[in-house]
Structure 1
Amino acid sequence: MKDLFYYIRKIQRVAGGKLYLNMSMTLLISLLDGIGMYLIVPLLGMIGLLQMDSGSLPFLAPLTGLIHSWSLQLSLPLVLAVYVLILGGQALLQRSQTLLNAGIIQSFIRTLRTETYEGLLRAKWEFYLRKRRSDFNHVMSNELGRVNYGTTLFLQMVTSLIFTVLQIALALWLSPALTGMVLVSGGLLALFARRFVRRSKRIGEETTELSKHYFAGISDHFGGIKDIKSNRLEASHIHWFRKLTDQMEHNFLEFGRVNSMSQVIYRLSSVVLVAAFMYVAIAVLHTPPEQLITVVLIFTRLWPRFIGIQSNMEQLSSNLPAFHDMRKLQQEYEAEQELISPEAAGASKLALVDGISCTDVSYRYNPKEPLYALRDINVHIPANRMTAIVGKSGAGKSTLVDLLMGLIHPEEGEVRADGVSLQRERQLLALRGSIGYVAQDPFLFNESIRYNLQLVDPNAQDDDLWQALEFSASAEFVRKLPQGLDTVIGDRGVRLSGGERQRLVLARAILKRPSILVLDEATSALDSENELLIQQALERLKGSMTMIVIAHRLSTIRNADHVIVMEQGKVIQQGGYLQLSQESKGSFSKLLSYQSGAQMQV
């Protein structure tokens, strides 16, 4: 429940005075509703349609005196007009309160949605290394909706409780004995119904887990749809999906059974209690008929409220796991925030003068495990030069680049840019703003080429876009597309070849006009002709830009000024391309001879 109350306090901060106005309107609506229902019997008695003793209802004598003091002549049309006026005003007030309540809820959920999205984007890269991306989709869509629904239920329940308390107060004034019987019966049933609330919470926990599996599976399956189609794996995935949806259906129906059972118990008990009340009122308490009618009105107004509160509690309990998941994710990304002070947020781009250096750097993805991804790294990336990082798969190349870009921070040692530690926030952000990064698996949105390029520079003109495309050897194929720059390229650029996607991402990086260009296997999908064009373009950039290149194909780094060779998380060789290639016993020359031999065989 503490997670629920955390979000209730948050909605209080978001809504401010509107929340208290909403509660005040609820009180007034409840009061008008009670007055309208309970006045109709005595007013009908006062005009002679019902036989009533002035002492049979507590407020009848004062009401009669008040009407006589005003010299009012009551008639049936006047009594009914007063009744319509009271309940009609209550209905209009109810509409205003409903709109106000909807505005409060939507403002709250918009704030929650925005804060969660911003918090996730501002989390450290290491946070994402430990989390499953589909869990973010699950929380941002499904669990956020359940939190919204749960918050609405809680406010509805508070409204019902306020209404019920006022109704009980009026009922106690009219008939303490019979109202006491209603309250005792309702209390006993509420104790009995606690088992339904607990069961609803367990079902809600199952709902959360099933929903996680659903989102994760959908994300994985459609992310790998090409493999599924190529290997004819449709049947196994359809079987998995049917099994999961069967479990989700069973979960939903189980909650329906729990909820309907509690409703049946309350409704059956109401029938029994009405009969019991009628007997006690007439045979034992000798209640006058006019008072009995009023008490029956009380019962018929109170008991549905008890049923509604019970139903709300069960539904709220089933949504409590969503509050827990949402709060847990918030606490996790808040603990992993990249601190961005107002001063650091305005950091300008960094123009490297000396370079980036790692001194005695070690790093583990999980500090609780003994395995190091990087161990005792001492390297220097000179400014305005091309540095290549090579090695076998799993050698630690990408991890080292993540350190150099400030995406992760070393467990031991220090990374500096121009002699200033990247632990300093302003220096870190200045470095990040200076980097153009091209990944091996390029990411593109299901939008136009223009949109994908202008992500890094929304003000870029067509001439700027074509210049970047020319640099990355992309201009020719873009001109041949049906709508040119305005061609929509599909999810993750699926309508383009792997090489075309890589070239577009390279063009986007160049459009940013970075002082540091990082290429992580960025030409792996290119044919020899386009690879040569990219190499020539990169050669023209030497001396004006710091370039860090990860490469398996050593032919792409022949013009590198500096080569770093890695193996099992350690730097085992450093030097110029020619120097390392001539060290016959070195790992670099072995890699080179292996690739040369493989190419000759081809």
Structure 2
Amino acid sequence: MAATPGADTASWRALREPARAYCTSMAAMGARRIAGLIALVLCGATVEGVGIVLLVPLLLLVFGNGVPAGRLGALTRHLVAAVGPGSALSVLVLAFAGLVVLRAVILWRRDRGLIAFSTDLVDRWRGDLVTVLAGASWTRLRALDRGKVEFAITSDVGRLAQGGDRLLRGGMALVQLIVLGAFALSLAPALTLAVLALMALALPFARRLLHAAWRQGAVMTIRGGRRHNAFAEFMAGLKLAKAHEAQDRYAEEFIALSAEIRHSGLAYADMQMRNAQAYQAITALAAALLLLAGIGWLHMAPAVLSALLVLLARLPGPAVNLAQGAQSLVQMLPAVAELIALRQLLIEVQPVPDAPGAVPSPSNLPAALQLSAVRYRHGPHQADVLRGIDLTIGSGEMIALLGPSGGGKTTLGDILIGLIAPDQGMITVDGVPIADADARARWRRQIGYVPQDPFLFDRSLRENLLWAAPQADEAALWDALDQAEAAAFVRALPDGLETRAGDRGSRLSGGERQRLCLARALLRRPRLLVLDEATNALDRVVEQRMLQTLVRLRSRTTLILITHRLPVDLPVDAAYRLSDGHMTEHRA
């Protein structure tokens, strides 16, 4: 994946693409849903402003300081004239309490909507990435850094929730600032403008904070990914590390990366706190000047001045939320850029065929395959791994592919099962060309594959088997286990099929894992079964029984054995040796 850019001028220009992508994903959540959240924010801010302004007549009636001029004073006089001073006070108190309750309900609805929105947004990103990952070609997938992908889909996507929540709250804070500022202007225009001007002195700090937020976001993405990789490698190679007494090196690398992330985070937090304190000092200065000007210069009524102070005291909170929302957005954008890079790396533009690709129809008969002039290389600047391979495999035949490591055996097997496409040449199944990605995908549903490194999920043996054929019943499970010479040891386990396999099958021996992987492949009732060194971890007795099983399978499936050595007593129909990309017929 492309490295996340640093915090320079070019990086600020690079912010546009991830910011645009993120905002587009938010808009895709639905205009009606966003409008509903905005309406709740407006209602909450309006109710809060009305409640604060209502303090003016309430305080006037409590302290008896007279009724001011203007619309608010006229409303107070009308109320007193209609119900009397005592009842007017009760009405105002009840109205104020009602507004407090109404505001609480609105804020509850608003915050619940915000949490649901940000959570759904993250799920949408994560689901999209996993879908793209699942649909990517094997050529793209094997080029990925597994640790980076894991970190991106877990940690980087998770950061979108926090950034999205802060962004939405920042937008709400802007609405609150506008509404509360409008109420303050209605009470004392000149004083409010003066206070807002003093608060604007904090704006020069904003750009510096945004630069720092971008740098911190890049640190979290780049160094956080390296730390995740270090830990993932340590866990994957734990046995090897312990055997070589090298575990301390992994721990030291992990601790060093954690220290770098911690120091960067502390420096960023320190800058945030210093700027927050400076902003609070400016706000306190504005409040002091407001008091002096209101009392000594404008001779404002105490009730009006009190309400104005409450309104202006509410402004710093939304202003801070607005600033934090902007910082969180910028801090999140390096993660968005990394996710975009991952998605672009996985998406492969497929040529549009003139007509839908044909594929051999599912059948109970073993498949017949033919390769014609097949060439393949792993990269544009690498040598050919396969060089003009021609191969014909009849229905129900058993074929052996021999040769040294790196000779192209596994690559040829990947082409035969439709995992990768040849760079040149053609593969046909039952005379039908497997010509595009869709045809390869549909062909893979008809094959069984046992890899060289047998892999089991950390689930029960039953779940591992059903992963290949979810609709299989109990009888089918045990039939496949019997064919793979695995039924006896599974029955001997205390929990039988409910036994957990452990991480990558770590609770089982290598031979047991290979037999279970063979059973899983047989459960699919494949038309083509490819075994890549599938007997290399078996003892001689079990290997002989499994080879006899393979001989019996010839009437049900076409078999391809990829191996370094050919068992002398295995009656294969043909054997071929691959070396340096060329294939020749092997003769014992």
What TM-score results when the alignment is normalised by the length of structure 2?
0.90
- Superposition pairs of residues 47-126 of structure 1, within 5 angstroms: 47=61, 49-52=63-66, 54-55=68-69, 58-64=70-76, 66-67=78-79, 71=83, 73=85, 74-126=87-139
Q: Does 1:389 align with 2:401?
A: yes
How far residue 68 of structure 1 moved from its aligned partner, in angstroms, is 6.0
Contact 2:376 2:423 in 1 (8 A): yes
Contact 1:8 1:151 in 2 (8 A): no
Residue in 2 aligned with 1:566? 578
- Superposition pairs of residues 346-361 of structure 1, within 5 angstroms: 349=362, 355-361=368-374
Write the distance in 2 (CA, Å) between the matches of 1:136 and 1:189: 40
User: Which of 201, 208, 213 is the aligned partner of 2:221?
Assistant: 208
Q: Please, which moves more after superposition, 311-320 or 506-515? A: 311-320
Contact 2:221 2:335 in 1 (8 A): yes
Write the distance in 2 (CA, Å) between the matches of 1:97 and 1:463: 54
Residues 472-527 of structure 1 deviation map (CA, whole Å, 9 limit, x = unaligned): 11122112211111111211111111111001100111111101001011111111
How far residue 329 of structure 1 moved from its aligned partner, in angstroms, is 2.1
Unaligned runs of 5+ in 1: 582-602
Question: CA-atom RMSD, angstroms?
Answer: 2.6
Change over 3 Å in CA distance of 1:52–1:313 after alignment to 2 = farther
Contact 1:386 1:560 in 2 (8 A): yes
- Superposition pairs of residues 23-38 of structure 1, within 5 angstroms: 23-38=38-53
Residue in 1 aligned with 2:534? 522
**SS, match of residue 425 in structure 2:** strand
Residue in 1 aligned with 2:8? none
**SS, match of residue 578 in structure 2:** strand
**SS, match of residue 343 in structure 2:** helix
How far residue 339 of structure 1 moved from its aligned partner, in angstroms, is 9.8
Aligned residue type for 1:371: A
Contact 1:168 1:179 in 2 (8 A): yes
Residue in 2 aligned with 1:584? none
Aligned residue type for 1:215: H
Residues 127-147 of structure 1 deviation map (CA, whole Å, 9 limit, x = unaligned): 111101222221221112101
How far residue 353 of structure 1 moved from its aligned partner, in angstroms, is 6.9
Q: Does 1:534 align with 2:546?
A: yes
Write the distance in 2 (CA, Å) between the matches of 1:80 and 1:346: 78
What TM-score results when the alignment is normalised by the length of structure 1?
0.88
How far residue 436 of structure 1 moved from its aligned partner, in angstroms, is 0.4
Write the distance in 2 (CA, Å) between the matches of 1:50 and 1:155: 43
Write the distance in 2 (CA, Å) between the matches of 1:225 and 1:94: 50
Write the distance in 1 (CA, Å) between the matches of 2:316 and 2:545: 80
Residue in 1 aligned with 2:468? 456
Residues 343-387 of structure 1 deviation map (CA, whole Å, 9 limit, x = unaligned): 9899953567773222222222222x1432323222223321112
Write the distance in 1 (CA, Å) between the matches of 2:231 and 2:444: 33
Aligned residue type for 2:65: Q
Aligned residue type for 1:18: R
User: Which of 497, 512, 527 is the aligned partner of 1:500?
Assistant: 512
Unaligned runs of 5+ in 2: 1-15
User: Which of 189, 192, 195 is the aligned partner of 2:208?
Assistant: 195
Write the distance in 1 (CA, Å) between the matches of 2:525 and 2:104: 62
Change over 3 Å in CA distance of 1:282–1:350 after alignment to 2 = farther
Write the distance in 1 (CA, Å) between the matches of 2:349 and 2:514: 31
User: Which of 148, 161, 164 is the aligned partner of 1:135?
Assistant: 148
Write the distance in 2 (CA, Å) between the matches of 1:277 and 1:244: 49
Change over 3 Å in CA distance of 1:200–1:425 after alignment to 2 = closer
Write the distance in 2 (CA, Å) between the matches of 1:282 and 1:69: 29
- Superposition pairs of residues 142-221 of structure 1, within 5 angstroms: 142-221=155-234
Contact 2:216 2:264 in 1 (8 A): yes
Residue in 2 aligned with 1:411? 423
Change over 3 Å in CA distance of 1:480–1:559 after alignment to 2 = same
Residues 182-202 of structure 1 deviation map (CA, whole Å, 9 limit, x = unaligned): 332333312322101111110
Aligned residue type for 1:330: R
**SS, match of residue 315 in structure 2:** helix
Write the distance in 1 (CA, Å) between the matches of 2:326 and 2:568: 65
Contact 1:22 1:100 in 2 (8 A): yes
How far residue 462 of structure 1 moved from its aligned partner, in angstroms, is 2.4
More relative contact order, 1 or 2 (CA 8 Å, 6+ apart): 2
**SS, match of residue 178 in structure 1:** helix
Residue in 1 aligned with 2:272? 259
How far residue 470 of structure 1 moved from its aligned partner, in angstroms, is 1.4
Q: Does 1:421 align with 2:433?
A: yes
Write the distance in 2 (CA, Å) between the matches of 1:346 and 1:116: 28
Residue in 1 aligned with 2:3? none
- Superposition pairs of residues 521-600 of structure 1, within 5 angstroms: 521-555=533-567, 558-571=570-583, 573-574=584-585, 577=586, 580-581=587-588
Residue in 2 aligned with 1:401? 413
Write the distance in 2 (CA, Å) between the matches of 1:155 and 1:78: 36
How far residue 425 of structure 1 moved from its aligned partner, in angstroms, is 4.9
Q: Please, which moves more after superposition, 452-461 or 494-503? A: 452-461
Contact 1:437 1:517 in 2 (8 A): yes
Q: Please, which moves more after superposition, 23-32 or 187-196? A: 187-196
Write the distance in 1 (CA, Å) between the matches of 2:307 and 2:367: 90
Write the distance in 2 (CA, Å) between the matches of 1:404 and 1:528: 29
Change over 3 Å in CA distance of 1:70–1:121 after alignment to 2 = farther
Contact 2:170 2:324 in 1 (8 A): no
Residue in 2 aligned with 1:331? 344
Q: Does 1:366 align with 2:379?
A: yes
Change over 3 Å in CA distance of 1:201–1:277 after alignment to 2 = same
**SS, match of residue 399 in structure 2:** strand
Residue in 1 aligned with 2:6? none
**SS, match of residue 75 in structure 2:** helix
Change over 3 Å in CA distance of 1:354–1:310 after alignment to 2 = closer
Residue in 1 aligned with 2:312? 299
Contact 1:449 1:485 in 2 (8 A): yes
Residue in 2 aligned with 1:590? none
Write the distance in 2 (CA, Å) between the matches of 1:416 and 1:116: 32
Residue in 1 aligned with 2:444? 432
Q: Please, which moves more after superposition, 237-246 or 508-517? A: 237-246
Q: Does 1:376 align with 2:388?
A: yes
